[in-house]
Structure 1
Amino acid sequence: MTDSTRDPGLPLPARDGEDVSFERTIPGSTQRLSSRTRERIRAVDVLFEADARGMDELAVLEERLVRTAAQTALPDRAAHLVRLHAEHADEIDEQLSTHARDWPLRRMPAVDRALLRLGAAELLHDVSAAERPAIIGEYVKIADVLSTDSSPRFVNGLLQRLADVADLLG
């Protein structure tokens, strides 16, 4: 494989610490994703933006309900998921920190953190035990589209741990 076939056309810094100016972006393909998956991605976007901006996710949600960065309005299901996470945020972060073992939340990639928070909210507070495997699969699929190569396995493992203890957590 030559360098030209591996190069996605993104600028690289000439030396360490130099700012890079991006001229274009390469979005992940969402064509093969179901509408439910796309709604989850929109909710992940809100959590990610809130984390990146250091804002409360409900404040970002309200901004997105008034003015969205996407071409379509924020789906009701996405707003529901963001509100669900906000309602249980402290408990969810505690459970993720406990079950992630050697991976503190602050060290996780921001996209993974948003995925895991939203996935945990759904698993622990929104779905029946029978629906949990499908929900985990959805978040693994989203991690595959939005995050690093190792993220799907990490997301799967951590959400599976939460699903295994969900009934004990009450």
Structure 2
Amino acid sequence: MGEGPKVSMPARRKARKRALDVLYEADMRDQPPVEVLAGYLQRIERPLPDHIDYTTSLVEGVAAHLDRIDELIASYAEGWTIDRMPVVDRNLARIAIHELLYVDEIDDPVAISEAVELAKQMSTDDSPRFLNGILGRIAEFATR
């Protein structure tokens, strides 16, 4: 499942950023992520960048496993309900948890650090620490 090792780390980061854009929009509009992805793919410039396949696999993977992913977030987000989490954080967590559970070629520390890096760029000052904590707990307990 997912892309093989031929996708470089910077390309995967771009793919995650695009997946976040799609999942954020789907979340805000309360629309299915795969529908939002289809519209997103129509809007971006051609030729499509190489990393778009990984973006697609992330969005489709999160959408396919959303109930399980959100159940894990709810279980491990100490003191937070999923609805109270910032939208960016909720969707970064979804991407990382998908990678932790379903993308074998991504090592757990990489999935976590990538989510934390994107949170530093795009969310609140508290978000990197929050995501690092929840994702670390999920990696430790839920992926074994």
One fold, TM greater than 0.5? yes
Give the distance between the partners of 1:156 and 1:42, measured in 2 at CA.
21
Q: 1:144 is paired with a residue of what secondary structure?
A: helix
- Equivalences for residues 102-141 of structure 1 within 5 A: 102-127=79-104, 131-141=107-117
Q: C-alpha offsets along residues 116-162 of structure 1, whole Å, 9 cap, x if unaligned?
A: 1111111111136x810111111100100111111000011111111
Deviation at 1:71, TM superposition (A): 8.1
Deviation at 1:112, TM superposition (A): 0.5
Q: Do the aligned partners of 1:123 and 1:166 also contact (CA within 8 Å) in 2? A: no
Give the distance between the partners of 1:52 and 1:150, measured in 2 at CA.
21
Higher helix share: 2
Bigger-Rg structure (1/2): 1
| Percent identity for Structure 1 against Structure 2 | 41
Give the distance between the partners of 2:143 and 2:119, measured in 1 at CA.
25
- Equivalences for residues 37-116 of structure 1 within 5 A: 37-68=13-44, 73=48, 75-116=52-93
**Which consecutive residues of structure 2, in runs of 5 or more, have no partner in the other structure?**
1-8
Aligned residues: 134
Q: C-alpha offsets along residues 60-109 of structure 1, whole Å, 9 cap, x if unaligned?
A: 011112223x7874611101100110110000000100011210010001
Q: Do the aligned partners of 1:100 and 1:158 also contact (CA within 8 Å) in 2? A: yes
**Which consecutive residues of structure 1, in runs of 5 or more, have no partner in the other structure?**
1-32
Give the distance between the partners of 1:119 and 1:153, measured in 2 at CA.
14
RMSD: 1.9
Higher RCO (CA-CA < 8 Å; seq separation 6+): 2
Q: 2:125 is paired with a residue of what secondary structure?
A: coil
TM-score, normalization: structure 2?
A: 0.86
The yes-or-no answer on 1:162 pairing with 2:138 is: yes
